[in-house]
Amino acid sequence: MEPISVTALSFTEYAMSGQRGRISIVTEQRSIYLATDPWPCGFYNPMRNAMRRAANSTDPDAELDRAVESAHLNGQERAFLELREGFMPWLRTTRATGVPVAPTRWRAGDLVLKVRPHLGLRLPDGSLGAVLVYMKEAPMSQEAANVGLRILEQTMTDTLPGATALVLDARRGRAFRMAKRTNRTKLDALIAAEAAGYVVHWRMSA
């Protein structure tokens, strides 16, 4: 069978969905990835693009305001307003500027993850951050963020060498980092199991 390919963030959302919600979330994701209509997949794209521009703009608020003004899909305006209110205070606190990131892929069994940090940042001390930006309404947890963080860590030499991995819950302006005490061996085993489960759920929902 052909491998299944989704984004690292889609897989992270699967990991945070809980046992009961996993089949439904994979069914939803499968319908989006295989759809001929690109609009559902692009719901958050105007805001993602605005966040990238904001990191290098002299007027970052205006970049996000334009994204809000462009909202025309059902529920998009409210979502974009909440994202603006969470993201802008966080960006101002970081005092970071944007840097380019590169795409890559990461594979676990029959699951291939497309990995490209939504933001590459250079902080005032010269350090780098590679950020997956989570935009949905349900809050992100540290446990779920660890999945995305570990995938970023394992692909960092390709996407933004030397950077620290971050997962940003944009609506709440909360950035997750990997805790020093995290047992990466156990986390890798968990991710492998989650990847196998994703493949099973995807194929069962066909």
For the segment 189-201, the average pLDDT, to the nearest whole number, is 92
Q: Which residues contact 99 (CB under 8 A, 6 or more apart)?
A: 120, 121, 122, 128, 160
Span 59-97, pLDDT tens digits: 999 999 999 999 998 999 999 999 999 999 999 999 999
- Chain mean position to CA 191: 16
More confident residue, 17 or 99: 99
For the segment 21-42, the average pLDDT, to the nearest whole number, is 70
What is the chain's mean pLDDT, rounded?
A: 92
Domain count, the chain: 1
Whether 201 has a pLDDT exceeding 90, the answer reads no
Q: Cα(50)–Cα(15) distance, rounded to whole angstroms?
A: 27
DSSP string across 47-93: HHHHHHHHTT-S-HHHHHHHHHHH--STTHHHHHHHHHHHHHHHHHH
Contact 104, 140 (CB under 8 A): no
Whether 40 has a pLDDT exceeding 50, the answer reads no
Span 112-166, pLDDT tens digits: 999 999 999 999 999 999 999 999 999 999 999 999 999 999 999 999 999 999 9
- Domain extent, residue 173, equals 4-204
